[in-house]
Amino acid sequence: MNLLKIAYVLLWFPLPSEMFIFREVRNLQDMGLPISVYSLYGPARKGLSREMAAAAPDVVRLGARSLPDFPADILSWRKRRPDVVGRLWRTIPWRRWSCLEVAGENLWAFFAGFRLATLMEAEGVSHVHAAWANGPATAAMVAAALLDVPFSFSGRAGDIHPQDGALADKIRAASFVHTNNRANLGYLAGFAQNGDARKIHLVYNSLTLANREKAAVAMKPPYRLLAVGRFCRTKGFDVLLRACRLLEKDGFPFTLTLVGSGFQRSRLEWLRRQFGLLPRVNFPGFVSHDRITELYAASDIFVMPSVIHQTGDRDGIPNVIMEALSHCLPVVATNISGIPEVVVDGETGRLVPQRDPAALARAIQELAADREKAVAMAEAGREKVLAMFDPKGNTRALLQLFHDAPAVRPTELSTQPATHPGQA
């Protein structure tokens, strides 16, 4: 199918913590796929790389300023496509959501879909894709149904864990579903009905750092530990600080640079004080993508202690793991979600159980004790990520999904909610 115009829908774009999506869009554009980007919220102004800042003006944004346009758009589409609007009204607003925040996001996205349809029609959009399976996919599905064009979405991490109330609806309506780790394939297939599991395709993310300076990995006291990520409930940085307390008690000489920002920062700083780690642990805040390679190159061990939250929320494959290995930096990570697809214990890094500070501390000490073995694993990890996350190959695979997408229209959306086999 020759697609003339693709619309990518996100909550924010560009977002500093989503460099892999920014790179996905730019790579597809560089390969000739016409893409316009629509964000449901306003701009993210802090922490943008130079390249992100240059692309920001090209994004079509909604946000609170678009709210006055919603009633007219809804009435217009109700007049033009009453059957479709009627079906849509009987789906999204009445699904069960995991919490009020998720419900609010999806209701906003539902109404925003009418506005997006108006804007996309003027742009001649012929396929609507959501980069996330939660609110963006809700808005994209509504817009595509109104426009009677194909719809697709990506399901990656916390956008499908725990599942939102309309995930089965979205799979049913989609022409294809893209996920970026193998661990999600069976999970998403559990929501698919009537053979829709065939729509679900694995395409790994692309590496985001163009220039990869190899880490020196001096592996001399004090050992330089590095962790990077959002300060949120799935990163397990509190477990890392508990492991650091054990390292301190063992007399292991180290420093930890904990890079990132987020609502958990105050708690992490409190733990640092409580554990007596002020001289050991540094919080530099958010570091832009332009400068992060300097930190990888100047470290000895990278630590990614991801956890599965009690709600089911989790990481997929944290992109920082691939970034660290691309710098030949030895990695210690937890064995959850898609991480073992990259970090094979004893071959490309060290894997430990989640929420186990003692195991995390032991793995760090073992890497530090044998530099030759640690570097050999990092070299093997580098070869693995350069192959698995090759920008050209993975972008071609994603491009092929768009070109091969069947002309499935989301207008025949069922009004009956589908359930996952694990749901009551």
Q: Which domains does the chain have, with CATH numbers?
A: 6-206+392-412 (3.40.50.2000), 223-388 (3.40.50.2000)
Q: How far apart are CA 363 and CA 148, in angstroms?
A: 53
Q: For 225, list phi and psi in degrees, rounded to 5.
A: -95, 145
Position 129 scores a pLDDT of: 98
Distance (Å) of CA 410 to CA 88, 186, 282, 301: 10, 23, 50, 47
Report which secondary-structure segment, H or E, holds 1.
none
How, if at all, do strands 331-334 and 350-352 pair? parallel
Q: Which of these, 99, 95, 107, lies nearest to 167 by C-alpha position? A: 95
Q: How far apart are CA 146 and CA 257, in angstroms?
A: 49
- pLDDT per residue, tens digit, the chain (424 aa), is 455 799 999 999 999 999 999 999 999 999 999 999 999 999 988 888 889 999 999 999 999 999 999 999 999 999 999 999 999 999 888 888 888 888 999 999 999 999 999 999 999 999 999 999 999 999 999 999 999 999 999 999 999 998 888 999 999 999 999 999 999 999 999 999 888 999 999 999 999 875 567 899 999 999 999 999 999 999 999 999 999 999 999 999 999 999 999 999 999 999 999 999 999 999 999 998 888 999 999 999 999 999 999 999 999 999 999 999 999 999 999 999 999 999 999 999 999 999 999 999 999 999 999 999 999 999 999 999 999 999 999 999 999 999 998 765 665 555 555 554 444 3
Q: Which of these, 277, 284, 266, lies nearest to 244 by C-alpha position? A: 277
Position 181 scores a pLDDT of: 97
Position 422 scores a pLDDT of: 43
Position 337 scores a pLDDT of: 95
Indicate the residue type of 324. Answer: A
Q: CB-hemisphere CA count at 13 Å for 245?
A: 15
Position 416 scores a pLDDT of: 54
Question: Which residues face 349 on adjacent strands?
Answer: 345
Interior angle at CA 229, CA 224 and CA 232, nearest 5: 125
Q: For 368, list phi and psi in degrees, rounded to 5.
A: -65, -30
The answer to whether residues 157 and 134 touch, using CB atoms and an 8 Å cutoff, is no
Place of tokens 């009905």: 193
Cis, bond preceding 222 (omega within 30 deg of 0): yes
Position 164 scores a pLDDT of: 81
Position 421 scores a pLDDT of: 45
Q: How far apart are CA 301 and CA 44, in angstroms?
A: 31
pTM of the model: 0.93
Interior angle at CA 129, CA 125 and CA 133, nearest 5: 150
